[in-house]
Amino acid sequence: MANGFEASTLSNLASYIDATLSPTASVRRNAEAFLQSNEKGPGFSLLLVELVSNSSFQFFTRQAAAVYLKNYVKRCWEDVDETEREKLKRTLTDNILYLPVQLRKLLTETVSVIADSDFPSNWEYLLPELCSKLEQTVNSFSQDHSSWSTCEGILEVVDALVECYRHLFRSDELLLELKYVLGQIQEPLLKTFRLVSENYLTPEFVKEDSNSTHTLLEIVYRCCRIFYSLCYQDLPEYFEDHMEEWAGGFLKILNISLSPASFSDSEESGSSLFDQVQAETLDNITLCAEKYEEEFRPYLSQFVSATWSLLIRHGNSTKYDQVVTAGMGLLTIVSKSVDFGLFSDPETLKQVCEYIIIPNVELREDDQDLFEENPMEYIRQDMEGSDAETRRRAVCELVRGLCTHYENAITDIFSNYVYNMLQEYAKDPMNKWKGKDAAIYLVTAIGWKGGTERVGATVVNQLVDLGHFYKNHIIPELESASTQPNNIRFPILTCDSIKFATSFRNQIPAELLPITLNFMSELLNSTIPVVHTYSCISIEKILALQDNGTWKVKKDDVSKLIPCLVHRLISFLMNVSSQNEYTAKCLMRVIIFFGPDVAPFLETLLDGIVKTLEMISQNPGNPNFIHYCFECIAGLTRYLCSKNPSSYLPILETKLFPFFQSVLTADIAEFVPYIFQILAQLAELHGEYEELSASYQSLLPVLFTPSLWNRSGYIPGMVRLLQAFVRKSMNQIIANNQLTPILGVFQNLVASKVHDYYGMSLIESIVETCDLSQLEPYLPEIVQIMLVRLQKGRTIRFTRAFIVFLSFLSIKFSSQMVISLLNRIQNGLFVQVFEHVWLPGVVQEANSKERKICATGLALYISCPSLIELPNLWISALSTVLSLLEGYQENPTVYTNQEIEESREYDIQFSQLALVGNRENIRLEKVPEPDQVLINNVTEVVANNPTLKNVIQSNLSDHLQQTLASYLQKFGRSI
């Protein structure tokens, strides 16, 4: 290889691969740098495969080489020479099946990565060869047990190839690919599944703790997974024709009953391979029952019966969780389908409740251990709604499914259970508190009919008096716990009571909301992580409740809680070992809700947040926690400074600037995007014509550092900060010859399809701020940059931005100036741009604010002599303006509290701070109303050119003529 190790030997490569595992950072970095500098050389990937396949090297070296190969292919596959790509694919196909399992799995991932781009069109032989080998191994199954491992390897690769069909959007191209794949694999797959399920899958064989058993179970597991992937988009004809054989095998799998003693100790802590096989089987049955009801109906009743038996005989051990939740998932689907009659017998419903639902809703010892030992994982599973695989969540879904058609019967059955559980708790709280906990879950399950984690329950079961239950059974638990937050009798019961309040916050009587918040604020004093975290979640969501755009909770009713909330939340925030995002989000909500009322605590809040961020700056962890900390700063800036910036802006700048400066100097990538956004927010709060202070001015040269613009996550915040400088300090920028580097930033951004939006936003701010005399020397080059981008990489988004730019340029400096500018670049360019770019593209503009700009700008051209001389183009312009006006009237922008996110997606490169808000690049108050501009120009031009009246009557549609007439009438004008 060039400048590296010889391709004929592996020892040098192996030594560098070993060095990447070194505990010494410098050795590790040097090895990684060397490998990356040589990986573009010819034959690098083939050398890695050779190292993986060579048994003379240490296993950990081969394993590390396999990992490096997988990552190399992910990074560089498109850059690998075509000849080498073919050799690598051939080598992988030939070698992968004969490697140890751990290496085979890693190379299978590599095959999957390559297949994403090359299969099937550029890797035509892969699947036929795998299927041919599968046929050979299956034919020799009984004579040659060594072929079992090969069979497992083949199916593992096929599984990796077809798994993508579960996630891709349905299309003709996808269905053609599926047809090709099915033509190759469907027969050998069924043959393999039948052979193993009919001849080997018996309770006696499955009980054997041997390599052979493990291999055969792995084969069945892969067959089930492949079945699911191939059937996800549509039921293949071959599978439909042979459904009886598949169904027979699935039923046999479900009916195998094994005692706990059948498994080794290693399996007791987690699901066994056979449990995974049963879970995959249930997933397949659920898929068919949900999507292919008619074809699967002949087998459904026996599967429901088998699943019922399986759920009853499985205990509450966590090792069965995957099987049990999958089984309840099947029953849930059936209960909501046209086959819901399978549950019509009242005795059947009673047995489902007694033998399946009640046992699985009860709290287990494992749940209590998780609560105490791993509180954040408990929260993640229980509160966030990400616990689709937990028994309790599966039970809730099953109850809701049964309520779809049997609401009265299910409500009656569970009402009795709930009553009895609550009675037993009342008699013996110490020993029966788990019963009340189960009762709360049951009421939640039967009470909730619709809603989301974000907004809570929105549709409820009218047969359940949730308000009465809350007042009589939840409030007492919260009150009792809040009196002694550090000595709560039943912490889990308290947490589930908090969860109930959170879930049904929309249904809590208004008079109980302040009382609930008071209890929650007291529970913030608890040292139990789950208790105070659940309290944070509940406070945040209850404070966010709105009724027709106003807060549902009255500020006056809870304002006394501000000191407690601020001090407790800041205390939790500064416990950076947990980086609890719920605490930070709750603090953000407190700032939003109380707004200016938190002003007395401004310095306390800023000191606590800044100190927290300083402590985690050396090792930033939870990105959501970081995000909400900065949202808190943005919220304080927004709500305290919006009406009275002179009182609070100096405090914010004094407290924040030293920290911001240290972060920018250290270039902490996790913080910098947020800091640029907040700096822009602070700068924008200074007076309209107020020059920015020296602290800000010192940042402007920093923004011209090229390396910063290579960080995608920095760009949005940096552009917004540049826009603030442009608006506040344009005269100083021009005096210091800094406009040219700013325009250089614009040029680089516009050249990128990813960042062009930010470039156009920047130039709009420059146009808004500058006089024509300041900008005129640069305008031809600015427009030429845009035209080159349109020619080489036109996108809808950029075309719209270009049209908005020309429209605002026309409004700011006149339409004649734009015509002259374009024709100065190239004679006749204006008409070309107007006809082929402007008019076709402007009608696609959906944003109402930009429609106003475009409609006003375009209306100015109605009186332009250049267009009047071209009647067809003139009438097209008039039609387009009228169409834009209709859209502008119909699509007003409504700015509401919904801008404050309730759920947020974290982007590793950039995350917008909701509380910074959006700053319009062009202030609409500077844009005249388009209908007025249009009518003024139309009446004037028709008066001077009477023939245009005939052009309007002959070429404008009846609908648009009526629209024009309505505007003429509105302004008392005529033509």
3-state secondary structure of 550: strand
pLDDT number for residue 7: 42
Worst-scoring range by mean pLDDT, 202-206, 721-725, 895-899? 895-899
Tokens of 228: 């699911």
pLDDT above 80 for 906: no
pLDDT of residue 258: 73
Query: Tell me: the pLDDT tens digits for 570-582?
Result: 999 998 888 999 9
Contact 862, 934 (CB under 8 A): yes
DSSP 332-391: HHHHHSTTGGGG-SHHHHHHIIIIIIHHHHS--HHHHHHHHH-HHHHHHHHTSS--TTSH
Please name every residue paired with 450 in a beta bridge, in sequence order, or none if there are none. Answer: 459
DSSP letter for 451, please: E
Closest CA to 613 of 665, 566, 680, 662: 662
**Can you give the pLDDT at residue 859?**
95
Q: Give the number of residues written for the chain.
A: 975
What does residue 788 show for φ and ψ, rounded to 5 degrees? -60, -45
Determine the pLDDT at residue 384: 55
- pLDDT at res. 909: 57
Q: Assign 20 a pLDDT band (cuts: 50, 70, 90).
A: very high
| Amino acid identity, position 313 | R
Please list, in sequence order, all residues whose beta carbon lies within 8 angstroms of the beta carbon of residue 164, skipping any fewer than 6 positions away.
116, 229
Structure-block tokens of residue 103: 């290496």
Percent of the chain residues topping a pLDDT of 70: 94
Q: What pLDDT shows up at residue 924?
A: 77
Distance CA 757, CA 823 (A): 26
pLDDT at 263: 47
Per-residue pLDDT for 902 more than 60?
A: no
Average pLDDT across the chain, whole number: 90
Residue 230 reports pLDDT greater than 70: yes
* Alpha-carbon span 356 to 359, nearest angstrom: 6
Confirm if 331 and 337 have CB atoms less than 8 A apart.
no
Q: How confident is the model at residue 147 (pLDDT cuts 50, 70, 90)?
A: confident
Q: Is 640 exposed, middle or buried (0-12, 13-18, 19+ CB in 10 A)?
A: buried
Rounded Cα gap, residues 541 and 537, in angstroms: 6
Take residue 320 and report the two structure tokens written for it.
């069965």
* Least confident piece of the model among 261-275, 487-501, 704-718, 808-822: 261-275
pLDDT over 70 at 907, yes or no: no
Band (910; pLDDT cuts 50, 70, 90): low
So what's the pLDDT on residue 899? 38
Q: Give the tens place of pLDDT for each residue, 381-407.
A: 887 555 447 888 899 999 999 999 999
Under DSSP, is residue 270 helix (H, G, I), strand (E, B) or coil?
A: coil
